[in-house]
Amino acid sequence: MGILSDILGKIFPSSHAANPSATPAAVPPTAGPAGAASAAPVAPPPASQPTGGGMGATAPQPMTQVDVEQMLNEMAARSSEKLNWRTSIVDLMKLLGLDSSLGARKELAQELHYTGDTNDSAAMNVWLHRQVMNKVAANGGKVPADLRD
């Protein structure tokens, strides 16, 4: 829907649990016998382990974590432009094939609740890059620590 979701959609494959609510919703439907058979083994573990903590209760997390650094480095190596995705939100967006215009970045800043001056594009860009890396990490991406808060 928004620019952040476009970024996450480019980084995470459709099978990844970037939106954890999507995966559990796909499991519980009991419309068909095949769905009921696959839903039955999944339903008991969370019910039998409510005190087990986060590990047993979060089914989407066991999926393979996306190595964002490796993926973006490979994309950058194939790019005809020299793009520094590690420090530039503009280059990151270009690398992902997204609109990196000032207007698009201001829209992204609004989505992420930027409270600074959007006319100070340098400060906004630094903040945006950090926030995007934080969001990617929060959604299951393996992001280098120096790129996150």
The pLDDT mean for the chain works out to 78
* Residue 106 exposed, middle or buried by CB count within 10 Å (0-12, 13-18, 19+): middle
Task: Look at residue 16 in the predicted model and tell me its pLDDT.
Answer: 52
Give the residue from 135, 84, 99 showing the smallest Cα distance to 107: 99
What b/e readout covers 8-36, taking b as 16+ CB neighbours within 10 angstroms?
bbbbbeeebbbeeeebeeeeeeeeeeeee
Residue type, 79: S
Give the tens place of pLDDT for each residue, 130-147: 999 999 999 999 999 999
Instruction: Note the helical H segments in 32-120.
Output: 33-42, 44-48, 54-57, 68-78, 89-95, 102-111
Q: Report percent pLDDT > 90 for the chain.
A: 62
- Please name the helix (run of DSSP H) or strand (run of DSSP E) that holds residue 142, with its range, or none: strand 141-142
Q: Angle at CA 118, nearest 5°, toward 114 and 123?
A: 80
Q: How far apart are CA 140 and CA 120, in angstroms?
A: 31
Task: Look at residue 13 in the predicted model and tell me its pLDDT.
Answer: 72
Number of H helices, E strands in the chain: 9, 2
Mean pLDDT of all residues in 18-43 = 38
Give the tens place of pLDDT for each residue, 110-130: 999 999 999 999 999 999 999
Query: Model pTM?
Result: 0.68
